[in-house]
Amino acid sequence: MGIENSRILNEDLKERIVTAETAASWIGDGMTLGLSGFTKAGDLKAIPDALVKRAETDPFKVNVFTGASLGSDIDRMFAEADIINKRLPFQADPRMRQGINEGSFHFVDQHLSHTSEMLRQGVLPEVDYAILEAVSIKEDGTIIPTTSVGNSLAFAMHAEHIIVEINEAQPGALEGVHDLYAPAPQGQREPIPLVSPEERIGTEGIQVDPAKIKGIIFTNQLDSPSTVTPPDAETRDIAGHLIDFLKEEVRLGKLPENLVPLQSGIGSVANAVFHGLLDSDFEHLQVYSEVLQDSVIDLLDAGKVDFASGCSVTLSEDKMKQVFSNFEDYRDRVVLRPQEISNHPEIIRRLGLISINTAVEMDIYGNVNSTHVGGTKMMNGIGGSGDFARNSRLGIFVTKSIAKDGDISSIVPFVPHVDHTEHDVDVIVTDQGYADLRGLAPRERAGLIIERCAHPSYREQLHDYFEAALERGGQTPHMLEEALAWHREFETNGSMKKLVKS
């Protein structure tokens, strides 16, 4: 049986198989594209290349909406080819970051649960083409996504046309892992009927009118692997302090022995923190998160995690081989949902999650900067960290206490950009220790954060700042003219330490 026979079960749709070049020729200047893909998982493998090639002779610009960051170097290629007008809601590519910070195109840094809602409200431009990677298409036109769901359901619902890339390299066993549910418009909406991470509330695929599917392309390429670096001494220390905090909460009867569903952010630090749970005594854990990284698979394999709900599976090369060659072993313990549901405030508050996200830096009162280096340059974006932090039972932020070989303190007097205000930050953890900020006023927070979380080489200077600010008074004491001096010092002299020495 030819691949089109096993992966396209709708006879009419078999007539719509085209080349990537043909599909790329349908895209017009000024259009808005909704592309599948969430943190390197389930993104397109053929059309991005075809679009970039077309731009060499026929320049155009489009809005590119996705679930989150893309793999397969798509964001790099798009930035280099200069085909972007506006990009949202998240990216994590150095070349795209450069284009954003040079002002070459617009980037809307958006809470990841918001994009679908804004499409539904008609706030964002109409999607001209939803271009989605799929495992297969069913008789009734239902599209089975691959390793991520992201915003694909919303793009399919709101797009004028749909193009599908059926990826032969993605295992057919993925079928059945997805749970597609779209809330009704606001004002007509029932509560989302999800009360535990393992529940299913929707369909196994994206149900569309087959007439909307304009073209189908076949590809055969795995997702690009994640590049998280293995745990190091500092990230192990962060994990250790976090686990001490959680154990203490259990001892005091504030959390049950198997905790509550856990969310963990992206990146090396968050991955290492989850790995720390492997050596802990915690068992029968549940994950209700966004990206399922290697650490979640290790926790499932070790029998520490009973069930994991996410909206994408983003793995290293070795882990990808292990998981996708035996996906039947995982299918009953994993579910992939739209990011609107994985990150939905209603569900996060109902389940009472513990959320663990990584900060770029934090200030002495507990405000967190997750996105802007030096207060101006975009790193990746807020991602889902705001969806989770504000609505979780426990909003935890982790970071290394110093960066750039100690030239930067990640605890500063004042963050130059605030993604998570002091009101959304319950606990902060660094390699130095943890500070539980719940129920503490700003003046109580500052001493605790400096003592427990700041690196020893910056502690005295932070205390000096706080004490001098206290003389000025206020609910949240500051010396505004000096509040950002640490960042200015790094920018001009390459180290916050020079300020310390002077």
Q: Report the interface residues with ligand COA, using CB under 6 A.
A: 265-270, 290-291, 357-361, 370, 373, 379-380, 382-385, 400, 403-404, 408, 410
DSSP 92: -
Min CB(384)–ligand COA separation in Å: 4
290 is catalytic: yes
3-state SS, residue 126: coil
> Within 252-316, where are the H helices?
267-276, 294-301
> Which residues, other chains included, contact 487 with Cβ-Cβ below 8 Å and sequence gap of 6+?
374, 375, 412, 416, 496
Instruction: Report d(CA 406, CA 69) in Å as an integer.
Output: 29
- Angle at CA 309, nearest 5°, toward 324 and 94? 70
Question: Which residue's CB is nearer to ligand COA, number 246 or number 270?
Answer: 270
Question: Which residue's CB is nearer to ligand COA, number 202 or number 384?
Answer: 384
Min CB(356)–ligand COA separation in Å: 9
Min CB(342)–ligand COA separation in Å: 10
Question: Which residue's CB is nearer to ligand COA, number 183 or number 267?
Answer: 267
Question: Which residue's CB is nearer to ligand COA, number 85 or number 98?
Answer: 98
HSE toward the beta carbon, residue 428, CA cutoff 13 A: 35
Min CB(332)–ligand COA separation in Å: 24
Question: Which residue's CB is nearer to ligand COA, number 120 or number 400?
Answer: 400
Which residue among the candidates 133, 165, 290, 340 is catalytic per the annotation? 290
Min CB(350)–ligand COA separation in Å: 19
Instruction: Report d(CA 475, CA 469) in Å as an integer.
Output: 11
Question: Which residue's CB is nearer to ligand COA, number 152 or number 410?
Answer: 410
Question: Which residue's CB is nearer to ligand COA, number 13 or number 362?
Answer: 362
Min CB(461)–ligand COA separation in Å: 15
Are the C-beta atoms of residues 357 and 398 closer than 8 Å to each other?
A: yes
Question: Which residue's CB is nearer to ligand COA, number 45 or number 114?
Answer: 114
The sign one gets for the Cα dihedral 235, 238, 244, 250 is: negative
Nearest by Cα to 202 from 145, 257, 160, 242: 145
Instruction: Report d(CA 36, CA 308) in Å as an integer.
Output: 21
Instruction: Report d(CA 290, CA 309) in Å as an integer.
Output: 8
Peptide bond into 185 cis (omega under 30): no
Instruction: Report d(CA 167, CA 133) in Å as an integer.
Output: 7
Instruction: Report d(CA 277, CA 282) in Å as an integer.
Output: 7
Question: Which residue's CB is nearer to ligand COA, number 338 or number 384?
Answer: 384
Residue whose CB is nearest to ligand COA in the complex, by number? 267
Min CB(25)–ligand COA separation in Å: 35
Are the C-beta atoms of residues 384 and 111 closer than 8 Å to each other?
A: yes
In Å, how far are 387, 407, 410, 494, 496 from 403, measured between CA atoms? 26, 7, 7, 12, 10
Min CB(369)–ligand COA separation in Å: 8
Beta-strand pair 312-313/291-292? parallel
Scored b (16 or more CB within 10 A) or e, 363-385 reads bbbbbbbbbbbbbeebbbbbbbb
Min CB(294)–ligand COA separation in Å: 14
> Within 44-151, where are the H helices?
47-57, 74-81, 94-102, 114-121
Nearest by Cα to 215 from 177, 176, 159, 151: 159
Instruction: Report d(CA 369, CA 498) in Å as an integer.
Output: 23
Catalytic residues: 290
